[in-house]
Structure 1
């Protein structure tokens, strides 16, 4: 499979959803493009589509919440793109720097590829979560769990980890990536106008 075909966002997302292990195995056997090319060609387009689609759905499907409890569409959309991009970069550089610690490969290019593949179901989950409860939230949660499982297999297959070090790198990468995203994401929320609602009811506004 050539890189232009492999980095086609629609094709890769469909292939990962339908046959994830085969996709990871196939990608792991080829040379990875530069990390920024994977980010701009695969991760960014998919997360942009997921944000736009989810924000549009929130505007047309009643949420049952008062208007003051919903963030602004543009403000929250910009915040989501930035926060999700930080999440991708945080996970990537965590996997890159922690790879050698767990006797794997410290390779930023392959780490970005593994993280981008692993997060594809999570970005689909963002769209699913915009549908009415309980179906939207239930499907979204299942896709997030699926994404964590796929991230483990992507780190394992694309970074080439040895047995006994795979779970350690996975846990450390998720912890560090989530910590980085939380720190910067929380700061961004207070900076971008309209990213937070006037009244925060539960955690629905954080989706």
Structure 2
């Protein structure tokens, strides 16, 4: 197994994503050889996903939501569902970026694509935790972090995959569309397969977070 770059240290990346995102993208983009996609997934994506889900689920149990018990999904069922659904989303985005890169006159690279997607989604996973706080502050901050994450994802794809000017926005839009579509398809299937992932009464929400 190759040595994992020190600049991909998780606390450092989280801090960089919030305080100096473009500088962090430039530093990661300058890596001569990106770690294998599965290394990035196991050492960067999975720990953040697990931490995000655990913290948000604990907060949902502590902070009153104002919803009846039958409108809340099970703690363990929804936790497992969240990790699986978000993992599929990350893989869907990364492989979409990899395969679509050549369509937009770039070079497909699954390792760099996974790295770009992982860094771009860091604020969104923080937003999942923020969304567990009471409305409207929790939802508002969570939404802002998701929008910020989309902006960072664009710059990550641009800086780490290195597409030419004029093709970057096209790749970003196509990648997000394909990634969201893959997540929705598998997310709905998982929601019906995992006991406790769906509340008895949805009250107008899909619970596909």
Q: Which TM-score band applies after superposition, normalised by the shorter structure?
A: over 0.9
TM-score, normalization: structure 2?
0.96
Output aligned runs, 1:53-68, within 5 Å.
Answer: 53-68=55-70
Q: Give 3-state SS (helix, strand or coil) of 2:198's partner.
A: coil
Q: Give 3-state SS (helix, strand or coil) of 2:142's partner.
A: helix
Instruction: Pick from 31, 38, 41 the counterpart of residue 40 of structure 2.
Output: 38
4+ aligned runs moved over 3 Å, structure 1:
204-207
Determine if contact 1:20/1:150 at 8 Å carries over to the other structure: yes
Determine if contact 2:187/2:208 at 8 Å carries over to the other structure: no
Structure 1 residue runs of 5 or longer lacking an equivalent are none
How far apart are residue 174 of structure 1 and its match? 0.2
Q: Give 3-state SS (helix, strand or coil) of 2:121's partner.
A: helix
Instruction: Pick from 105, 130, 141 the counterpart of residue 132 of structure 2.
Output: 130
Output aligned runs, 1:46-195, within 5 Å.
Answer: 46-195=48-197
Which residue does 1:28 correspond to in 2? Answer: 29
* CA–CA separation in structure 1 for the residues paired with 2:11 and 2:79: 21
Structure 2 residue runs of 5 or longer lacking an equivalent are none
How far apart are residue 156 of structure 1 and its match? 0.3
Determine if contact 1:70/1:205 at 8 Å carries over to the other structure: no
* CA–CA separation in structure 1 for the residues paired with 2:207 and 2:103: 37
Q: Give 3-state SS (helix, strand or coil) of 1:115's partner.
A: helix
